[in-house]
Amino acid sequence: MSELFYTTPSHGDWNRALPIGNGKLGAMIFGEGTSEHFQLNEDSVWFGQKRNRNNPDALANLETIRRYIFEGKIEKAEELCKYALAGTPQSQHTYQTLGDVYFDYCGKLKEGIHFERKLDLSEAIHTSRILSKETGTLYTCETFASAPRNCIIAHFRSSTAGELDLAASLQRECFYETTAHTDDTLLIAGRLGGGEERFCCGMKFVTDGSELQGIGEHLVTRNASYVTVFLTAATTFRHADPEKEVRSVLDSASRISFDELRSEHIEEYASYYNRMHLSLDYDTSLDLLSTDERLSRMDESHPDNGLLMTYMDFGRYLLISSSRGDSLPANLQGIWNRDMSAPWGSKYTININTEMNYWPAVLCGLADCELPLFDHMLRMLPNGRQTAGEMYGCRGFAAHHNTDLWGDTAPQDIYIPATFWVMGGAWLCTHIWRHYTYTDDRKFLEKMYPLLKESVQFFMDFLVGKDGKLVTCPSVSPENTYIMKDGTKGCLSYGVTMDNEILHELFEHFRKAAEVLGENDTAFLTAARECEQKLPEIRIGKYGQIMEWQEDYEEAEPGHRHISHLWALHPAYQITPDGTPELCKAARITLQRRLESGGGHTGWSRAWILNMYARLWDGEHCYENLLALLKNSTLPNLFDNHPPFQIDGNFGAAAAMAEMLLQSNEERTIVLPALPKAWKKGEVQGLRGVHETTWDLAWNDGYLTSITVHAPKEKDLLLDVYYDGVKLEMPLRNGIPYHLSWKEV
């Protein structure tokens, strides 16, 4: 059942409200029964303005910091880093809520019965219904976020003619200065704070009511059968005159009938959503239960594959709703943030969280939803050049562990376990080649190649020699802390395992991209290759685990939420069960040690563990951790819980569910690599593999029954396909689908 369904209002609980979005605009719909409340977002509503936060004292102190680290004087190195490498000022700006709209039925609906609300994931429409206990009138509201019109559109109606009275107010906690209205339109506008960036938010009523007027900060209509409400917003990030843009959008959209707008919205949204479908056998009687009831009962004794299907669909829905077209990329909360000063600023945290947001994109046929991320990476490029040069005296592009609306690349916070890490831009750059391998889009690769090259260029300058290897210094293993032999705790280090794994990937991707595009700077290619060959390799420690640092330290937090040193297992393919069995064994031990010490306690961390077990071809541990994610780290509206809400776990889990069924890279495609026993029978259509291939799979009694592979007509491919230890060479010619019943093999 591709919907979220509830029989009780949210009672003001944001974690029970339901999200809609079109990439730029978002709303949390509370579904309050005898009233209504939308909390609104627009993706460019941020506090502040662009700044240069690069610490001017960084370069002069860099060599001293490195010397302290190599001499084991970690406390001195960390103290100096706080002064010399922290951003100035230390923090980037925060994403803000746009505001709230409150709807009141003006006394016409005093008490309701038979309330229900649902979010239809297949159409991206929220519907609430309530019956007036006094009059028997049915009140309905359908709401969606139209991408073609850049509007949130809500259609209120009553089953009895003339029984709908509706008042609505636009409110914002702070940072707005003016309110203006006509009889059918209300605008609020002002500066966003901390600079000169301005916004405007507007609401318009279209109704058959006998009265319609603007009063103060309200629009009011009476004696109506329906009211269509249009909401939109704009900022100076995109528009020189936000108010003019808002008026134009409202005027244009309101000239079209609701039915036409609804059909247009469904057609546009479905062009994304219908690309993939997962079907698992489940007890359909559970569809009579509300989503929160199903979530609360779910465990190994009460399986619910139907809810798992909905959860997968919800992950795809969220990505489509928060990242498409010319929107900004999905941030720490997608686009749904209720606060003026959000947790962690609701920025782009690029030491795992932003990257995880886009793990399901190419797998689930939503490669175009990843394009806003790449556009933002290009926005970061000039800033990253400045950071590389001013702070480190290096050529090329560098970014630390956060960025913001303006593509800031300087260090964020003064939090030693995370701040002094120069790998954020490099990790983002590994998405470039992955996207290309799935899409074969040469124009995309040409567009992104300068960024990829400049990331490599930075590390060619930044890496320093140590024991015959080239290492990062200073660095950290994101947010983790080690214990030295004398009991001293530290975070700063050199040649951190995750750094090496990312750099091996980055340099390899650059070599491949350079070959595709015919790079003719042979001196640069040679120097890059020499640098790559001096990177440290993965090492196994005293417990049989993957070592996280160059020294085999004890960990201050053995159950830490980050599992950075397994980056080579996932998202990379540097560790595989059949290619590197010893490292694979060590990776499994690393996961076991984390989990035995309480790891996976945040939603996104559990989602990463899910992906890692999928790469270990371990379906039972995948399923076990998927249930743990829903039971322990999922809110009533199915949002992922850090806590508080972060959207990355939703996306990470969707990616893991896809990878349990299909893993595809340049070398091979593996079918059903981590199918759990609980998914005994099912089928999936529309999973994506490399070279623009589309995969339809079916299985029964836990065994593959059929494969159908589609490729574009112009493709001539010979794919290596593996299932259950059997290799099959699969030719694809002239766009003809390749169909195989596995019994034939």
Domain boundaries, the chain: 3-46+99-274, 57-88+328-599, 682-741
Q: What is the pLDDT of residues 151-176, one digit of tens each?
A: 999 999 999 999 999 999 999 988 88
Residue whose structure tokens are 């830490």: 560
Domain 57-88+328-599 has CATH 3.20.20.70: no
Residue 81 amino acid letter: C
Bridge partners, residue 186, by sequence:
181, 203
pLDDT for the residue numbered 399: 98
The residue-averaged pLDDT of 699-716 equals: 92
Bridge partners, residue 4, by sequence:
119
The residue-averaged pLDDT of 122-128 equals: 98
Assign 744 a pLDDT band (cuts: 50, 70, 90). Answer: low
Task: Tell me if the pTM is above 0.95.
Answer: yes
Q: 164-171 and 99-104: which strand pairing?
A: antiparallel
Residue whose structure tokens are 């699969």: 730
Q: What is the pLDDT of residues 448-507, one digit of tens each?
A: 999 999 999 999 999 999 999 999 999 999 999 999 999 999 999 999 999 999 999 999
- Cβ proximity of 66 and 78 under 8 Å: no
* All residues at 6 or more sequence positions from 656 whose CB lies less than 8 Å from its CB, including other chains: 607, 610, 611, 613, 614, 622, 626
**Per the structure block, which two tokens stand in for 202?**
């507007």
Assign 393 a pLDDT band (cuts: 50, 70, 90). Answer: very high
The residue-averaged pLDDT of 98-104 equals: 97
Residue whose structure tokens are 């950290």: 476
Q: How does DSSP assign 43-62, residue by residue?
A: TT-BSS-------TTHHHHH
Q: 25-29 and 18-21: which strand pairing?
A: antiparallel
What 8-state DSSP symbol labels residue 323? S
Q: What is the pLDDT of residues 499-536, one digit of tens each?
A: 999 999 999 999 999 999 999 999 999 999 999 999 99
Give which of 297, 309, 316 is closest to 681, Cα–Cα: 309
The residue-averaged pLDDT of 357-377 equals: 98
Report helix, strand or coil for 153. Answer: strand
pLDDT for the residue numbered 736: 87
Q: What is the pLDDT of residues 654-668, one digit of tens each?
A: 999 999 999 999 999
**Per the structure block, which two tokens stand in for 411?**
């260090």
Q: What is the pLDDT of residues 310-326, one digit of tens each?
A: 999 999 999 999 999 99
pLDDT for the residue numbered 680: 97
What's the rounded Cα separation, in Å, for the pair 655 and 641? 17
pLDDT exceeds 80 at position 10: yes
pLDDT for the residue numbered 134: 87
The sign one gets for the Cα dihedral 547, 548, 549, 550 is positive
Give which of 145, 111, 131, 124 is closest to 38, Cα–Cα: 145
Q: How many CB atoms lie within 10 A of CB 89?
A: 10
The residue-averaged pLDDT of 565-577 equals: 98
pLDDT exceeds 90 at position 112: no
Q: What is the pLDDT of residues 619-647, one digit of tens each?
A: 999 999 999 999 999 999 999 999 999 99
The residue-averaged pLDDT of 215-228 equals: 95
What 8-state DSSP symbol labels residue 743? G
- Cβ proximity of 168 and 206 under 8 Å: no
Report helix, strand or coil for 170. Answer: strand
What's the rounded Cα separation, in Å, for the pair 520 and 455? 18
pLDDT exceeds 80 at position 146: yes
pLDDT exceeds 80 at position 743: no
Q: How many CB atoms lie within 10 A of CB 662?
A: 20
**Per the structure block, which two tokens stand in for 239?**
């528009």
Longest dimension (CA), the chain: 83
pLDDT exceeds 90 at position 300: no
**Per the structure block, which two tokens stand in for 164?**
């709908």
pLDDT for the residue numbered 1: 65
What's the rounded Cα separation, in Å, for the pair 153 and 155? 7
What's the rounded Cα separation, in Å, for the pair 659 and 649? 15
Mean pLDDT computed over every residue of the chain = 96
Instruction: Measure the CA angle with vertex 675, ends 729 and 573; round to 5°.
Output: 60
Give percent above pLDDT 70 in the chain.
Answer: 99
The residue-averaged pLDDT of 340-360 equals: 96
Q: Which CATH class is domain 3-46+99-274?
A: mainly beta
- Cβ proximity of 456 and 528 under 8 Å: yes
The residue-averaged pLDDT of 266-277 equals: 98
pLDDT exceeds 60 at position 745: no
Report helix, strand or coil for 304. Answer: coil
pLDDT for the residue numbered 194: 87
Instruction: Measure the CA angle with vertex 353, ends 348 and 357; round to 5°.
Output: 95
Report helix, strand or coil for 374. Answer: helix
The residue-averaged pLDDT of 3-9 equals: 96
